[in-house]
């Protein structure tokens, strides 16, 4: 049911709402006003969608996150300081109203006879390990639930970059995590003259890391081409947040 009307990526929805606030648009082309809304995803972008939908006076907002609900407090045995605390985050947007669906995954969209989405079919999923040790989320039979929805916002995907044919064509070596390419301390891949940075090398991260990585990678590429560079290199490939 992905082709149904009323299903949108989060960023166009948010950017058009911002343009209304800036006075560039009179009305948003996509609005939650008077609608049941389902947000798929559990990160910052999903929280932005939640706040915007509430301000647009949605009837109700459900948020689905296929991950298990995080604990309310940090577990120092598995998540010690100074690691980022992996706890249940309750943003101000949540205080304005939301029905949280942890451990729930959308498996289908249901439409009406006009081709517009009317409900989201969600199921409960549980984490399990494959024989090779890889973690998977497995649907639990008999847990299907249909959630009313006239607007669905897709705010998921913080998992890294998609595989592209260019990587194979350039014969670039990948990391054990196949969503990232292996680079040396100069951001160069296993193929001379080919560099990698940002989510492509670091994995799914924030835009500030992408900017810093891009600048540092550009400095290394400039040095590769000219023998020297005065460009700023704020981070290295192995830099990590504290």
Reported as a single tens digit per residue, the pLDDT across 165-185 is: 888 899 999 888 777 899 999
Write down the residue that tokens 């990698």 correspond to.
196
Q: How buried is residue 38: exposed, middle or buried, by Cβ count under 10 Å (0-12/13-18/19+)? A: buried
**Average pLDDT over all residues of the chain:** 90
| pLDDT value, residue 101 | 92
CB 127 within 8 A of CB 135: yes
| pLDDT value, residue 160 | 64
Of the two residues 216 and 89, the one the predictor is more confident about is: 216
First and final CA of the chain: distance in angstroms? Answer: 42
In the chain, what percentage of residues exceed pLDDT 70?
97
Report cis status (omega within 30 of 0) of the bond before 82. yes
pLDDT of residue 151 exceeding 80, the answer is yes
| pLDDT value, residue 49 | 95
pLDDT of residue 82 exceeding 80, the answer is no
CB 224 within 8 A of CB 233: no
Task: Read off the pLDDT of each residue in 153-161 and give the average, rounded to a whole number.
Answer: 79
pLDDT of residue 146 exceeding 90, the answer is yes
Task: Read off the pLDDT of each residue in 13-36 and give the average, rounded to a whole number.
Answer: 93
Task: Read off the pLDDT of each residue in 4-26 and give the average, rounded to a whole number.
Answer: 94
Question: Which pLDDT band holds residue 241 (cuts at 50, 70, 90)?
Answer: confident
Of the two residues 90 and 203, the one the predictor is more confident about is: 203
pLDDT of residue 159 exceeding 70, the answer is no
pTM over 0.95: no
d(CA 84, CA 139): 29
């Amino acid at each position: 049911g992905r082709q149904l009307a009323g299903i949108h990526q989060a960023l166009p929805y948010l950017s058009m709402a911002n343009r209304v606030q800036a006075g560039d648009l009179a009305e948003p082309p996509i609005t939650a006003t008077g609608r049941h809304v389902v947000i798929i995803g559990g990160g910052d972008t999903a929280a932005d969608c939640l706040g915007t939908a509430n301000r647009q006076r949605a009837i109700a907002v459900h948020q689905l996150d296929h991950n298990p609900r995080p604990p309310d407090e940090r577990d120092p045995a598995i998540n010690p300081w100074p690691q980022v605390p992996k706890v249940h985050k309750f943003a101000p947007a949540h205080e304005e109203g939301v029905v949280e669906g942890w451990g729930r995954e959308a498996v289908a969209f249901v439409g009406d006879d006009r081709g517009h989405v009317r409900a989201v079919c969600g199921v409960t999923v549980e984490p399990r390990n494959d024989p090779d040790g890889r973690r998977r989320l497995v649907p639990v039979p008999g847990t299907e639930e249909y959630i009313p929805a006239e607007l669905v916002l897709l705010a998921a995907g913080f998992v890294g970059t998609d595989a592209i044919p260019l990587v194979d064509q350039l014969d670039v070596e990948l990391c054990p995590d196949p969503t990232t390419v292996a680079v040396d301390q100069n951001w160069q891949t296993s193929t001379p003259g080919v560099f990698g940075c940002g989510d492509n090398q670091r994995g799914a991260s924030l835009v500030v890391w992408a900017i810093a990585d891009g600048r540092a990678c550009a400095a290394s590429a400039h040095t590769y081409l000219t023998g020297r560079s005065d460009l700023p290199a704020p981070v290295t490939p192995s830099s990590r947040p504290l």
